[in-house]
Amino acid sequence: MKTKHRQASHQKHRWQKDYSVFGRIIGLLEPFSPDELMRLELPIRMSFEALKNGKGCESDFHDIAAAINCTLVRSEEVDPMCEYTAISARDALMRTWHRWEKTGKWGFDGPALQEVEACIDLHEQLIRLSTPGQMVKAMREVIRRGHKNEVVQ
């Protein structure tokens, strides 16, 4: 008797309905809300302004690098010109990193300033035109490439 009861009890706990899965799926397919857009875009703009003014820190650099890497991965599915914009911004950001390593001060050179700002504009457009599911997929790809040292970190 006890054995049958135990087996029946284990069967109950093996599979349980997840009633929230529909909401999670719909949440990944709907576009970002205006509040979410502001929450995603504002820190990147603030980091860019801080580095541009020479008052940034290493975390500002990494915030921009993450945005550029995500833009690069997402733009590979969109258009080669978008991909070119992201690659040139990545190279410009690396020049900024090397400059910081040499001088200890943050700042962009002239072309880097234009290229990084253009990529940030592209990043904002891709966020507005993409679903959260697409952006999560792009960020997971950035993390996967980061483990293989294929992207700027």
Q: How many CB atoms lie within 10 A of CB 12?
A: 8
Residues whose CB is less than 8 angstroms from the CB of residue 126 and which lie 6 or more positions away in sequence, other chains included: 71, 74, 75, 78, 82, 135
Terminal-to-terminal C-alpha distance of the chain: 60
Q: Enter the pTM of the model.
A: 0.79
What pLDDT score was predicted for residue 25?
Answer: 65
C-alpha 26/C-alpha 103 separation (Å) is: 48
Q: Can you say whether the dihedral through the CA atoms of 98, 99, 104, 110 is positive or negative?
A: negative
Q: Is residue 45 packed enough to be buried (19+ CB in 10 Å), middle (13-18) or exposed (0-12)?
A: middle
Q: What is the mean pLDDT of each run of 10 residues along the chain (153 residues)?
A: 61 61 65 87 94 91 93 90 94 93 90 95 93 89 84 62
